[in-house]
Structure 1
């Protein structure tokens, strides 16, 4: 008994903080949550950042990630993944234990610039993968090189493995340009056409039944590779009749179907709106809008399986939404048109039948509904 008490007492002495995470919604959630460094002052006054560990209620160590958002060399927040049942709370402990190893996850969120295929920027997690196109790709596309893309639309890669694929697929591309366009390894592939459309989550300005869009990004900055959250920033040359300067910050959490897009705008002239979109390709599939709850979906068969794409946005910033169909290639999009705020935040994502995430359009709509509620009612994190 004495030995057990001694071990228990040491554990309690090491516990510097208790973290309580409350879930106000009626479904269970497993999400990345953030603790601002300002709430860890009492711990960091006595201990090093490198010694910090987070344990669940059973004493199991969790994956953690420090995040420096502004690149000043000082961490701004601490991330971990919380699991909370519907309408319940979960308790975690912050402890100082330099000898305890931090778990090294096999699956992760990840992003990077990809110079081996011109200059794509690609990002992924255990469920989804995306990419956008850079300045060299634009230059080559304007020169007529077929393998390059002139577009600020967002490409999606269909995954059916939780393991990372970006590095593997681009390595395969070096010897076989069709490597990731074939679903021959049971991991997924890229059959998705973007062109000048918005892909899944590209932005524009809607004016006179025409979409004005930027060209490829001109610079990128990786803020965090992962493993719980990957974050990066893209900048664009001034675009549209209004001289819009755009900086876009994109993040993706482990376990999520949705990337978070945060665009900051400046313009030479007053802008009528901003519009986030989903391509309808050649007017295929079903498009559905819900302005009241702020979610929008497209359900389309690509090759032999269905893909659900979606946007989720705070309804308060939405002016209207439209399904615009055109006979001109890449101009058919579902568009969510927002008021011309200087900052627009929205979520864009997808699910593929072969990943096992969805079977029907209703399955995909249910995921979008939940995402809209998650945005409206985030997990409540309290450090004591």
Structure 2
């Protein structure tokens, strides 16, 4: 009898140990389309509690075939990993103690004080930058987001881009050579410039004093309150799968109130063409319209402005010869009041470096809330080749953010 009781207790102990050392995660797709490589989140604190993990215990995430899935623990204590789920279906993943395999860095960035305080970031598909206080100190009106096209690699390229562009020795040689051989100086300059495609992408996008590639801004009496460059920055996540930066802006004047401060939390995940951005305005006293804008460089350019389905797109002609087309886009998880093209009057067009206007999505900003939206691009020399394919990507993306994957453990 004692032996039987001992065996039962042992079996129960082993079952308890086994149960506490694995955790099943169920990811559900409510849409009738397949979803692949989409980042999901769950609380790392809950994972640790469920698995009774020691502080030093490592974990692995496994798919249904038992293969490791890359993951990251974010600044706000979330466990994130890319999930693949069929239409109207579920997929299961297992989390358990183990030694994770090395993970390729696919999302990263930093501030570049050596280039007028740019904050620049990228993932395996796209790259971006926001202008900083050193640029503003020079009086340059860099309001909008800029972007770098990227192709032929999934590895980070921005460090190389900036290193070549800012090479002081080469710059000194160019200046000296310009005195005797301007053509050779120009060729040498082109050899290091990130405005020239050297096989991995380039900066061929014009921003100027506009909302650029998707900045959000308040409106007062139908006038956009253009934000200037950020004041402070803090990188919160720096890969391997997610980059997150918090930007705070100088106080702005909103209807005579000079204490309103904008904060942006920008997140870019591996495998996505779009950044998630949460914008808030502290000290704002009343509800105001907020617009998300993409600058237009052709007055009759190809625009889709679909407020009902929560997205807008624009085909940008790019700067310079033979640089292809850039497909711009923004998507909105909440309802959009209006989406439309607004062209600049002739005088304002001159003030905005001859840009033609914006495609705008109009919503309301409630004081104390976050205005959340997604913005980004694709390039016809990279993975998305046509405007039709991009419009479908954006339509699908808008549906995904309005009907997110759900996670249960």
TM-score per shorter chain, which class?
0.7 to 0.9
Deviation at 1:331, TM superposition (A): 6.2
SS of the counterpart of 2:46? helix
**Shift of residue 87, structure 1, vs aligned partner:** 2.3
Corresponding residue for residue 7 of structure 2: none
- Whether the 8 Å CA contact 1:53–1:61 is kept in 2: the answer is yes
C-alpha distance in 2 between matches for 1:284 and 1:131: 27
Q: Counterparts of 1:284 and 1:162 in 2: how far apart (Å)?
A: 34
Partner of 2:32: 26
Partner of 1:182: 196
Question: How many angstroms does 1:325 deviate by?
Answer: 1.0
The 8 Å contact of residues 194 and 203 in structure 2, kept in 1 or not, is answered as yes
Q: What is the DSSP-based 3-state SS (H/G/I as helix, E as strand, rest coil) of the residue aligned with 1:197? A: coil
CA distance in 1, matches of 2:249, 2:371: 15
Q: Are the equivalent residues in 1 in contact too, given 2:59–2:100 (CA < 8 A)? A: no
Alignment partners' CA distance in 2, 1:174 and 1:50: 43
Q: Are 2:21 and 2:51, in contact at CA under 8 Å, matched by a contact in 1? A: no
Which of 135, 141, 147 aligns to 1:150? It is 141
For residues 90-114 of structure 1, give each alpha carbon's deviation from its aligned partner in whole angstroms, at most 9, with x where no partner exists. 21111112xx243321x51112111
1:374 aligned counterpart, secondary structure: helix
Distance 1:238 1:78 in 2: 34
Aligned partner of 2:291 in structure 1 is 275
Match of 1:351 among 353, 378, 384: 378
Q: RMSD across aligned C-alpha pairs, in angstroms?
A: 2.2
Which of 107, 124, 127 is matched with 2:125 structurally? 127
* Structure-to-structure mapping, 1:72-87, within 5 angstroms: 76-87=77-88
Q: How far is 1:285 from its partner? A: 2.1
Aligned residue in 2 for 1:6? none
Q: CA deviation at 1:14?
A: 8.0
Q: SS in structure 1 opposite 2:327?
A: strand
Give per-residue Cα distances to partners, 1:170-213, cap 9 Å, x unaligned: 111122675210012x1110010100111111122334453221
Alignment of 1:319 onto 2:328: no
Deviates more, 1:87-96 or 1:247-256: 87-96
Q: Check whether the contact 2:286–2:366 (CA below 8 A) recurs between aligned residues.
A: no
Pairing 1:1-384 to 2, within 5 Å after superposition: 15-29=21-35, 30-48=37-55, 50-69=57-76, 76-97=77-98, 100-105=99-104, 107-140=105-138, 142=139, 149-160=140-151, 161-175=153-167, 179-184=193-198, 186-242=199-255, 243=258, 244-267=260-283, 269-270=285-286, 272-283=288-299, 285-302=301-318, 303-304=321-322, 305-316=324-335, 318-326=336-344, 327=346, 328=349, 329=352, 330=355, 332-342=357-367, 343-357=370-384, 359-383=385-409
Deviations 1:260-280 (A, max 9, x none): 110111245535311110000
- Structure 1: state its 5+ residue gaps: 1-8, 70-75, 143-148
The structure having more radius of gyration, on CA atoms, is 2
CA distance in 1 between counterparts of 2:78 and 2:159 reads: 28
- Structure 1 segments of 4+ aligned residues over 4 angstroms from their partners: 11-15
Residue 152 of structure 1: CA displacement? 2.5
For 2:161 and 2:87, locate their aligned partners in 1 and report how far apart those are by CA, in whole Å: 38
Partners of 1:293 and 1:315 within 8 A in 2: no
Q: What SS does structure 1 have at the residue aligned with 2:101?
A: coil
- Residues 249-296 of structure 1: CA deviation (Å, up to 9, x unaligned): 000010001001101112455353111100002536212211101101
Q: Is the contact between residue 197 and residue 331 of structure 1 (CA under 8 Å) also seen in structure 2?
A: no
Residue matched to 2:8? none
Unaligned ranges ≥5, structure 2: 1-14, 172-188
**44-53 vs 361-370, which moves further:** 44-53
Offset at residue 41 of structure 1 (A) = 4.1
> 2: CA distance between counterparts of 1:315 and 1:104?
34
In 2: Cα distance, 1:272 partner to 1:55 partner: 46
Residues 249 and 46 (structure 1), Cα distance of their counterparts in 2 relative to 1, 3 Å cut: closer
Normalized per residue, the structure richer in strand is 1
Question: Any conservation in 1 of the 2:334–2:402 contact (CA below 8 Å)?
Answer: no
Deviates more, 1:283-292 or 1:117-126: 283-292
Matched residues in 1 for 2:67 and 2:58: separation? Answer: 16
Question: Is the Cα contact below 8 Å between 1:62 and 1:103 reproduced in 2?
Answer: no
